[in-house]
Chain A
Amino acid sequence: MKVVVIGNGMVGYKFCEKLIAKSLPGLELTVFGEEMFPAYDRVHLSEYFAGKTLADLSMTEFSWYADNDVKLELGNPIVRIDRTQKKIHSFSGAETAYDYLVMATGSAPFIPAIPGIDKEGVFAYRTLEDLHLIQRHAPLSRKAIVIGGGLLGLEAAKAMLDLGITDTHVVEFAPRLMPRQLDHNASVILQQKLSALGITCHLNKNTIAVLGNESVRGIMFSDGSMLHADMLVISAGIKPRDELAKACELPVGHRGGIIVNDLMQTADPSIYAIGECALHNNMIYGLVAPGYDMADTVVAHLSGASKMFCGFDMSTKLKLIGIDVASFGDPFIGGEEAKTIVFEDSHNGIYKRINFTPDGKQLLGGILVGDASSYNMLQQVCRNQMTLPPDPMDLIIKPRQGSSMAGVDALPADALVCSCENVTKADLTDAMSAHGCETVDALKKCTKAGTGCGGCVPMVKDILLHTMKQQGRYIRNVICEHFQYSRQELFDLIRLKELKDFDAVLDTYGKGDGCEICRPVVSSLLASLWNEIVLKKENHTSQDTNDRFLANIQKGGTYSVVPRIPGGEITPDKLIVIGEVAKKYNLYTKITGGQRIDLFGAHVSDLPLMWEELIAAGFESGHAYGKALRTVKSCVGSTWCRFGLHDSVSYAIRIEERYRGLRAPHKIKSAVSGCIRECAEAQSKDFGIIATEKGWNLYVCGNGGSKPQHALLLASDLDSDTCIRYIDRFLMFYIRTADPLARTATWLNKMEGGIDYLRNVVVNDSLGICGQLEQEMQALVDSYQCEWKQVVDSPELRKRFNHFVNAPGEKDPNVQFETLRDQKKAAGW
């Protein structure tokens, strides 16, 4: 059987993969691709700008085609289909005969016929080739417009941000963003979030002209207003690629798309069409999951099985620039057919809407913006027509602890968990019992669940944990294959036996030779317990590379150096020294978020020389490289500020100097604000202090970063010394009991009893350990030494700071820099 596929996109490739898996005898499979690259993941295209390579995005290894006897012709578009002779003619001039032809030609960006659309600086956003062109133009551009506020348009806007264009505008014809997925209020919330990121949205705008001479200067709207920019990206929807089908007189829809039946057959029974080029029931499916289902349908038909494609759930969840956006079922249904509950929190940028039957029994659809953590569950409830709780509102108000596990339990066995790869809950539990899968990775390999868009991975994990628990299997929270202990257990054991180096710990309590997971954990424990110098001979190779070189490794293999600037206060003389060092060693300088200065691009052999100069001027290590105290940020406080209640700078300096160098399960950040205006943003820190009329309020376990969380009030109106005692206890308790790489916020979230329990331990001494915690902290404070100075003073340690062992002092010739705004930057990878 000769099967020929036109198109090597995601769906075309998936068709091949599924067909090969059937191992049909006598199959000859040929694939023609118009692009130069083998099939790649278009869904995650914008990640290409965020650093992913073609290899990361590729659907399979290049060798897959040859290994499976699939003939792949790239860069060779088909020019004609001869239906009577059952042959296709390719651009290279060759003819290929087929028994069955599968058209997976996909779609092209819809380019509206606006005058001037062919100017320089106007791009489509669809293929890797488009991305290369955009990438080449971006450095010349300051302001970009994306036409199209749909899913792909917003992806394109994100790509603009990733390329460093901070002034990006999105223009949408409809009165709201993502009109197919969101209602008006959801769009408003999304717009607010986007504008905080530097993306301005213009809705209800009909673009009628592209301005500029040769290159684009802006666009004009039908209302006469204009918007200027030096780059224009069109992402206004798709147009099915049906030109080959039209030319051989296969019927197509009026607005494009090759008409197919439920078997994905075109009017010619030996020609199929799948993916975005196919028009099924008057509908083009612009998502990958239905495309895969179509591919499945054709594979089933060719291998003699029966399967029909009967439409597809268009639920989507995506993370746009870090913002969750999801819609499922029928997001808009309302009126008499449905009741609706809306939860709107414009402060935190969260919008949730669910629609259910008037009797309140069944979920029909909904929208989530800002927090889509319950998407998987809601979609399952909707798709499987599960009975709703007595008050459907419980579905969208913060899921209580443990409720997601109960939810997994309630799922029927045939619930579809991964819609990209068609994996049900039963497939997962079978893989666990029949193939012994015990990790998410093993499940991914075995069932392919979570390998498409990845959105179902949290649910796969929940099902895994839940099933293991059900089977009575004890899930031990162990560090890795070498240590069958939790971090907390190991902490106590190392203290008990007074072990001082990694090999001693490994030989006493572990097995094997250690690894990149347990080595840094043990190194951190040793540092928290004994506070010996981290570069001590036996231990330095078990430090993460940053701790090993006391600096932060950056692209290209050079390091960045951050001297400590306690509380962010610095004299003009010291500022000058930093500038001089940066100049001398040709470094890129940038102010950090923690009120200090980062010097980038230092060769490893220059590090001790730079430290020597910095130390001579009174600086010390800022521990920016360690899982350690980073900075104590401060506002200027009562010394200058007319609102300041206390001297927040002096207090911040006192705190930073007390805990400098303290090693912990993860980095620790702090801040002190001189009044309730909170200019130091103390409530986003691991511990934050805010001045009150009577003293200080102490907040703990806040976090910025990817999952921001406000710190919680631990105690109020404290005097300076008591506040520090509480911080001593709090930090030592965290260091003793947290999991590896758990920030204080995560640690608290997992703590049974939460902040009340923590307050009992730290303030009321419910465990009777506060005396000990304070003593341990004092010992660490007393034994502090600057690690940079230890290196500078030791010829033996200095020897380690060379790139080549057999050519000391010689720099890595592979390190390359480029220039950006009069400074250097690392060459891209």
Chain B
Amino acid sequence: MNVIANSAVEWYFACHITDVPHNGGVCVKVEDTQIALFHFAHRDEWFASDNECPHRKQMAISRGMLGSHHGEPKVACPFHKKTFSLTDGRCLNSEEGLSIRTYPVKVEEGKVFINIAALNQPFTSTIQTDAYEDQTD
């Protein structure tokens, strides 16, 4: 996925803090990619991750519900409630090898920025699913 060829812009301006609901997320359009941005107000923290859930390839993580698992912040995909760590993106339900990418977030003067450097790095959410899709296409 060649999203932003020139990674000069590492901190991408997403929106204003008031645009994001407390303890919830929004979807940010970064060129032709989608990133989920969360304001976890109960923890006073901000997180960002891929908007696509690797389980069924649905663009819906930003509409997911926030929570914690033994203290670790997580988000649950609204489709099948697969949960992912917001710290490192790994799936917390089972050992299916699913994961999402997470991105650093910073807030300056009421504006929210996402560090999108990781977008340029190769990433596969699951080896099996990708291998299989190549077979059928």
Contact = CB atoms under 8 A, between A and B. Distances in A.
Q: Say whether A associates with B.
A: yes
Contacts of B129: 53-55
A806 B29 contact: yes
* Residue among A541, A803, A810 having the largest count of chain B Cβ atoms under 10 Å: A541
A515 B132 contact: no
Contacts of B78: 544-546, 553
Given A805-B19, A812-B59, A519 B65 contact: yes
Contacts of B97: 55, 61, 63
Contact of A512 (B58, B68, B136): B68
16 contacts: A37-B135, A53-B129, A53-B132, A55-B96, A61-B95, A512-B67, A515-B83, A516-B65, A519-B67, A537-B22, A545-B65, A804-B34, A805-B14, A805-B20, A812-B27, A814-B34
A548 interface: yes
A811 to B, nearest CB: 11
B109 interface: no
A361 interface: no
Interface string B2-17: 0000000000001100
Interface in A790-827: 800, 803-807, 810, 812-815
Given A549-B63, A829-B58, A503 B42 contact: yes
Contacts of B15: 805-806
A55 B132 contact: yes
Interface string A501-527: 011001000001111101110000000
A58 B82 CA distance: 18
A36 interface: yes
Given A482-B67, A513-B43, A806-B14, 7 more contacts: A54-B129, A482-B68, A503-B42, A516-B64, A519-B65, A542-B23, A800-B21
B76 A804 contact: no
A700 to B, nearest CB: 30
A443 B67 CA distance: 25
A62 interface: yes
Interface string A40-53: 00000000000001
Contact of A513 (B42, B76, B127, B136): B42
Nearest to B57: A829
B105 interface: no
Given A540-B24, A805-B28, A812-B59, A512 B132 contact: no
Nearest to A812: B59
Contacts of B71: 512
A482 B66 CA distance: 13
Interface in A542-556: 542, 544-546, 548-549, 553, 555-556
B126 A515 contact: no
B108 interface: no
A392 interface: no
B16 to A, nearest CB: 9
Contacts of B26: 804-805
A804 B28 contact: yes
A409 interface: no
B81 interface: yes
In the complex, which of the residues B23, B52, B59, B81 has the most CB atoms of chain A within 10 Å of its own CB atom? B23
A489 interface: no
Nearest to A813: B32
A804 B81 CA distance: 22
A557 interface: yes
A515 B63 contact: no
A55 B42 contact: no
Nearest to B24: A541
Most buried by B among A37, A542, A806, A815: A806
Contacts of B136: 132
A28 interface: no
A54 B128 contact: yes
Interface on chain B toward A: helix, strand, loop, or mixed SS?
mixed
Contacts of B70: 481, 512
Contacts of B23: 502-503, 514, 541-542
Contacts of A514: 23, 42, 66-68
A513 B64 contact: no
Nearest to B45: A513
Contacts of B56: 829
A538 interface: yes
B73 to A, nearest CB: 7
Interface in B86-137: 95-97, 126-129, 131-132, 135-136
Interface of A: 36-38, 53-55, 58, 61-63, 132, 481-482, 502-503, 506, 512-516, 518-520, 537-538, 540-542, 544-546, 548-549, 553, 555-557, 800, 803-807, 810, 812-815, 829
Given A513-B67, A513-B68, A814 B126 contact: no
Contacts of B22: 537-538, 541
A53 B98 CA distance: 13
B57 A806 contact: no
A452 B37 CA distance: 39
A545 to B, nearest CB: 3
Contacts of A519: 65, 67
Contacts, number: 132
A512 B74 CA distance: 12
A61 B66 contact: no
Contacts of A518: 67
A807 B71 CA distance: 34
Contacts of B127: 61-63
B126 A548 contact: no
B65 A541 contact: yes
Given A541-B21, A805-B15, A806-B15, A515 B74 contact: yes
B74 to A, nearest CB: 7
- Interface hub of A38, A132, A506, A557 (most chain B Cβ within 10 A): A557
A555 B19 CA distance: 27
A541 B63 CA distance: 9
Contacts of B135: 36-37
A36 B74 CA distance: 36
A797 to B, nearest CB: 11
Contact of B40 (A513, A557, A805, A815): A513
A513 B128 contact: no
Contacts of A810: 29
Contacts of A36: 135
Interface string B29-70: 100101001001111000000001000111110011111111
A803 B69 contact: no
A48 to B, nearest CB: 11
Contact of A61 (B73, B81, B128): B128
Nearest to B38: A541
Contact of A557 (B24, B58, B73): B58
Contact of A58 (B40, B60, B74, B128): B128
A541 B67 CA distance: 11
A55 B59 CA distance: 19
Nearest to B41: A503
A660 B41 CA distance: 33
A540 B21 contact: yes
Nearest to B32: A813
Contacts of A516: 64-65, 67, 76, 81, 83
Contacts of A54: 128-129, 132
B65 A515 contact: yes
A346 to B, nearest CB: 38
B39 to A, nearest CB: 9
Nearest to A37: B132
Nearest to B74: A515
Contacts of B96: 55
Nearest to B65: A516
B27 A803 contact: yes
A95 B129 CA distance: 31
B73 A513 contact: yes
A553 B60 contact: yes
A589 B66 CA distance: 33
A800 B136 CA distance: 37
B37 to A, nearest CB: 7
Contacts of B14: 805-806
